[in-house]
Structure 1
């Protein structure tokens, strides 16, 4: 063997070892759960703080006891409001596990919207496809749902949570009149913002828009109508990131710099020469597809938002 081929072979072996180590690290990191905390100044002057727990993208398997235990521990936070932005279960048996691990959080005021993996069980795909850009489907192309989302939704509602899929609801939390509105999953084109469009009521002090996938068409609708805060999930924070949690892709049309965490979204009308800006929180989510069980430089997360006076 020539010197060149010896060097090439050594390099290939080193690359293989490095790749295997990276894959093992990414696989282990899927259970490195984090609680992110943010302060969001969106309440009127003098209002009492409101603590909102944002849960998204559980992608729960019925036998994933590690994730279930961590989610169960979130009840100790005793939030004033829980917002669930979808993709709860990954197999047909897991909806009961979702209910079980949320536990007493279902006794807190709460609201939810659906993601695509509330309707459809994940299927095997080449994991590398995740890095090539957003997947795309339309509602017309979808088969009949094969996950028991209706059973899960009924269990949520029976315990007091509000279904925001193309609904608006009013709650009074810590003395503040709150309106929440939501859309169905935009990633599979199940959204129709017109069903909840319009300004909030005159007596509403805090307006929150909720959706699964943060597509700009939905964010624009929320911002245009004066939502103080928009909440979404879906992106997994990029799931596979560069060091420093720098996302490679977002799996939607939002910019990579806003793939997770707290930012702002501005709707602008050039015709009317006006704009409106909302706070935006995108959850990095708690899970992954069972066929892509890895996270690299992007730990799974839930978020606690403390809403305070502007």
Structure 2
């Protein structure tokens, strides 16, 4: 074999070997990141002056995308400990499951929080198990097909409701927590077109102090309807913040219709504020997070300046 050809082949083999080592190192790091949970704390001035009657704030805890599988004891302990924040209201925006045996572990993680006022909507991974898919399709932003392997969501839903949480899938609710009168509405997962906005359409009660819009995936077509109806704050998850990101948390894909700049965190959507959680878990088939640690968020809802 010609010396130059052998050199090229040797260099190619070396490059491929280094790439494999680098890939394995990155995967190991990304897997360790799954248990490096972050707590995010945001202040949002939405309430009319005097609403809180001297109270400093209304604390709303937003959790999403647990994607629970058996054996995730660190996640269970971390989520359970969020109860020490004493939230006034808990919002769960779905994809609680990633395994048929996940329900008891979801209930264990959320256990103390279920004793507090709460609302929930579901994502498709509450209804159907995740499926192994081509990772390049994810990076290209292609929607993954449903597995149609049903998960035991009915028992999880029954437990949520039995503890007092309100099901906001295709539903409107009005209730009061402390001095704050809340009007909330939600839709089923719009990422796979399970939503029916017509069933909940219309402005929130004008006598409410805080109006909340719930949806698992922050699809602009649904957010636009909530915004047009006058809701103050939408809450969603689904994106995992991009999950496999570039340095600085810059998302490569959003896995939905929202733009990259609003893949996670608090942003404006017209006149409505929107909060997108980057979630607490991942599909069991993609157990990695790169520059995008799992998190939950406390939104401190305060009065607007007079």
TM range (shorter): over 0.9
CA contact (8 A) 1:136 1:187 kept: no
Structure 2 residue 155 is the aligned partner of structure 1 residue 151: yes
Please give the secondary structure, in 2, of the residue aligned with 1:187: helix
Q: Which runs of 5+ in 1 are unaligned?
A: 267-276
Q: Is the 8 A contact 2:230 2:272 kept in 1?
A: yes
Whether the aligned pair in 2 keeps the contact of 1:199 and 1:225 (CA below 8 Å) is yes
Counterpart in the other structure of 1:286: 280
On the 8 A contact 1:167/1:181 being kept in 2, the answer is: yes
In structure 1, what is the Cα distance between the partners aligned to 2:272 and 2:39?
23
1:179 aligned onto 2:188: no
Look up the match of 1:270: none
- 2:171: which partner in 1? 167
Structure 2: distance between partners of 1:31 and 1:69: 11
Structural mapping, 1:75-154, within 5 Å: 75-135=83-143, 143=148, 146-154=150-158
TM (norm. structure 2) is 0.93
CA contact (8 A) 1:134 1:250 kept: no
Q: In 2, distance between residues paired with 1:4 and 1:125? A: 34
Q: Which moved more, 1:27-36 or 1:242-251?
A: 27-36
Shift of residue 56 of structure 1? Answer: 0.3
CA RMSD of aligned residues (A): 1.5
- The 5-angstrom pairing of residues 1-310 of structure 1 reads 2=4, 3-48=7-52, 49-135=57-143, 143=148, 146-266=150-270, 277-310=271-304
Q: What 5-or-longer segments of structure 2 have no aligned partner?
A: none
Distance (whole Å) between structure 2 residues aligned to residue 214 and residue 7 of structure 1 = 46
User: Does the 8 Å CA contact 2:173/2:185 hold for their aligned counterparts?
Assistant: yes
Q: In 2, distance between residues paired with 1:287 and 1:176?
A: 31
Pairwise CA distance, 1:32: 1.0
Instruction: Give the Cα separation in 2 of the matches to 1:161 and 1:127.
Output: 36
Q: Do the aligned partners of 2:129 and 2:147 also contact (CA within 8 Å) in 1? A: no
